[in-house]
Amino acid sequence: MSESSILITGGAGYIGSHTARQLGAAGRRIVTLDNLSTGFREAVLYGDLIEGDTGDPELVSQLLHDYQVDTVLHFAAHTIVPESVEKPLKYYRNNTCNTRNLLECCAEAGVRHFVFSSTAAVYGIPEGDAICAEDSPTAPINPYGASKLMSEQMIRDLDKASDMRHVILRYFNVAGSDPEGRIGQSTKQATLLIKVAAEAAVGKRDTLYIFGTDFPTPDGTGVRDYIHVEDLATAHVDALRYLENGGESTTLNVGYGHGYSVREVLETVQKVHGAPLNIVERERRAGDPPSLVASAERIRETLGWKPRYDDLEAIAAHSIAWERKLMASPWGE
């Protein structure tokens, strides 16, 4: 093989598959590594899918060699905050230890570019107005955020010790699905709010829960910066282009810069759906901060990122449409 490739870990998952689709459609040569624990073969629309784990150094090294990989987009991770509180070592093994393994393989193979899927959970509970800038203090309050922050530090340290440059993208709350309905959020037993609300809208769930109504927010429910998965995927494509054009290593928030409360999101889903949903209020979940909203200017300035789907109703509509498609033709069954 003469042409270099892009390795996408977790590329059969929700965000990775949308990014892989954009890169594949643009004619880039990609290969996906996914253990399919939460991903789906059906989501891989371009390139080869290798079933395996980032914790397998022999497999990773072989892939980097065989496909002449010079760029890695690393999505593979566990991502459920409450589960991370209950099973912290699971998260440190998969999110931190496996990232260390991947980085060692990349260093040995001479990989030049690394784009990392991080999270706003590294900020913990922000002080003041709850707007998180890239230089805001990092103080994660759950093992998920801590596991990602540890990975960020390893990436920066390797950057200083090698020729590999990186972009770390700190996601806020991803939602929505491919507007054309080719792929979408298909995770079993999902916990993301808009995904869960869309499942309720099509009859997959009888009840929706609001976890916490006593947060210090305008309506008492948690506030988040919800970003459409297509815009998030585009941020990865832009990050890759930035590195290929000689950009310096950097860390960037990926969000729209404004938030919606849980109540506002559910009201929007009900509006788009055209019918009320059965909503029940519950106690707060462990590890949930009251508010997380991005300061999102730096990514626009650095990458020239131009989001196209900053519209909560559109996000809800795409999510509901995908759930209807899954009902007609379920994945992974």
The domain defined by 193-224+257-328 folds into UDP-galactose 4-epimerase; domain 1 (3.90.25)
Architecture of domain 5-175+226-254: 3-Layer(aba) Sandwich (3.40)
Confidence at 46, pLDDT banded by 50, 70, 90: very high
Domain boundaries in the chain? 5-175+226-254, 193-224+257-328
Residue 1 pLDDT > 60: no
Q: What is the pLDDT of residue 197?
A: 95
Is 92 annotated as catalytic? no
- For residue range 170-201, what is the model confidence (pLDDT) as tens digits? 999 999 999 999 999 888 778 889 999 999 99
* Catalytic residue chosen out of the listed positions 144, 226, 242, 260: 144
Rounded Cα distance between 209 and 206, Å, is: 10
- Distance, C-alpha 185 to centroid of its chain: 11
Rounded Cα distance between 239 and 56, Å, is: 27
Q: What is the pLDDT of residue 332?
A: 62
Q: CB 188: neighbour CB atoms within 10 A? A: 10
Q: What is the pLDDT of residue 329?
A: 82
- For residue range 87-133, what is the model confidence (pLDDT) as tens digits? 999 999 999 999 999 999 999 999 999 999 999 999 988 876 568 99
Considering only the C-alpha atoms of the chain, give the largest distance between any 2 of them, rounded to a whole number of Å.
58
**Helices and strands in the chain: count of H runs, count of E runs:** 11, 15
Contact 303, 235 (CB under 8 A): yes
